[in-house]
Amino acid sequence: LDLAKNIAHALHADLQDFLFSYDGQIFNVSASIGVTVVTEHTATIESVLAAADSACYAAKTQGRNRYHVYDPANNEPDVSKERDGSVSDII
């Protein structure tokens, strides 16, 4: 988990330094990143994506442009079912 947090933090920092240029305009780039743990007890890829999606949604609701680690003990809602389409549509 520490490695995943370090990667998310590094990605976030790199994106803050990146400027995207398009059609003569310059844009700042940011991201809301969802992190989840995958173990031998993880049931399905759908459950992994749903947890990461919930963590991403939590990052957005906490102010965007940050990362959030999914914690099932916090009873975070499964927001993937509230969106258009389902997580299985991503796969």
Q: Give the CATH number of the domain where residue 61 resides.
A: 3.30.70.270
Residue 14 domain flag: yes
Residues 45 and 51: their CA atoms lie apart, in Å, by 10
Give mean pLDDT, residues 75-87.
54
pLDDT tens-digit map of 26-43: 999 999 999 998 888 888
Residue 86 domain flag: no
Residue 8 domain flag: yes
- Which two three-digit tokens encode residue 28? 């700042």
Q: Is the pLDDT of residue 80 over 80?
A: no
pLDDT at position 77, please?
58
Exposure pattern of 32-51 as b/e (b: 16+ CB <10 Å)?
bbbbbeeeeeeeeeeebbbb
Domain enclosing residue 64, as ranges: 2-73
Residues 6+ apart with CB under 8 A from 78: 50, 54
Residue 36 domain flag: yes
| Strand 33-35, strand 25-28: pairing | unpaired
